[in-house]
Amino acid sequence: MCKAVPLSLCLLIAVVNFGLADVSPGRAAFPGTNGKIVFNSDRDGDAEVYIINANGTGVTKLTDNSAYDGGGAWSPTNAKIAFYSDRGGVGNYDIYAMNVDGSGQVQLTSSGGAEPAWSPDGTKIAFVTNQGTGDTEIYKMNADGTGVTRLNDDSAFNDDPAWSPDGTKIAYDYALGEDWPPTGQFEVYVMNADGTGQTNLTNNPAHDYHGSWSPDGTKIAFGSYRDGNGEIYVMNANGTNQTRLTNNPANDREPAWSPDGTKIAFFSDRDNNNEIYVMNADGSGQTNISNDLFNDNKPEWQRLAPVGGIAEYPQIEPRAAASNGDTGNRNAFAVVVFAAGVLLAAGAWCVRRRWLT
């Protein structure tokens, strides 16, 4: 693994006044500082996308549409938030993207789509659709909506994709039965990013769902009904050591790991309506941060990159060869350089300390 940088890049870093840069993909928590939380709420009469600070302050509405808007996911450069909406017709969901202030909303799919999740390098979005076939599967597409590719093809309901922090795997929900509601119970599965190697991680007769990767990729938090109600669990990334984190008569659902690995956000109806909660990664310190009389759900955490300098992130689908002739180890990292919140340089950095193009 290479962590050195070219001298020219070091000189560039030395002469600029670095500010704060934000980076986070949907439900693939990379190591970093915890930022805002995007979530859904019906506090204005219909489902919209909001953001909130982790301490409960600064609630801001990003969408304002009479249709359902939900499922917010931060892009890796924090320039965009993907979400899904049925503004094209009730129940007909498609994937959209917008700027992080809610402006510039653009439709990305036209044949259906929900539950978007950005890949760690920002070039792909995984999502769920039946594409008009009635067979609900996981797909991926380029970040501009082109190049739609189906990842699984089976007689099951597949939902809720989540990229691993290194971009090599996707966790997702699996249940027998191709349409909603499925006939079998949900399990948390994992597959390679190309759709191969589909593996059941939870293997439990109750519903297990909504996997969220820890920042180091070693653990997955998930929701489960194995105790007769919804609780948050955590397991190793291979499915072992499944451990309950919450324990109350209400329903706690849809965990989202924080970028620094110390917190997990989730939503709960323990206050007679759905609220956004934050707890320590061991389940202690459970705190209601939304505190309203409406339904708040689907939290996803934003990552704040280091204050200036270089940030390295595992690169998904490393290139097979570089234009400079380097055909060495492709176990590479994406390297990004920020100044005053602006992306200055980006590329892949291989073990031989050469830029890949």
Q: What is the mean pLDDT of residues 28-51?
A: 88
The residue type found at 227 is D
Domain spans in the chain, listed from the N-terminal domain onward:
7-19+308-356, 25-307
Please state the separation of Cα 314 from the chain's center in Å. Answer: 15
pLDDT at 27: 54
- Percentage of residues in the chain with pLDDT exceeding 70? 76
pLDDT at 103: 98
What is the rounded distance in angstroms from the CA atom of residue 74 to the CA atom of residue 37?
9
Lay out the sheet containing 287-288: strands in order across: 252-257, 263-268, 275-280, 287-288
pLDDT at 150: 95
Beta bridge partners of 40: 49, 297
Predicted confidence (pLDDT) per residue in 96-149, tens digit: 999 999 999 999 999 999 999 999 999 999 999 988 667 899 999 999 999 999
pLDDT at 29: 60
What is the rounded distance in angstroms from the CA atom of residue 11 to the CA atom of residue 356?
20
318 has pLDDT over 60:
no
Contact criterion met (CB below 8 Å) for 112 and 92: yes
pLDDT at 219: 98
pLDDT at 332: 39
pLDDT at 306: 55
Predicted confidence (pLDDT) per residue in 71-86, tens digit: 999 998 888 999 999 9
What is the rounded distance in angstroms from the CA atom of residue 357 to the CA atom of residue 133?
39
Q: What is the mean pLDDT of residues 248-266?
A: 96
What is the rounded distance in angstroms from the CA atom of residue 159 to the CA atom of residue 129?
9
- CATH number assigned to the domain covering 25-307: 2.120.10.30
Q: What is the mean pLDDT of residues 59-82?
A: 94
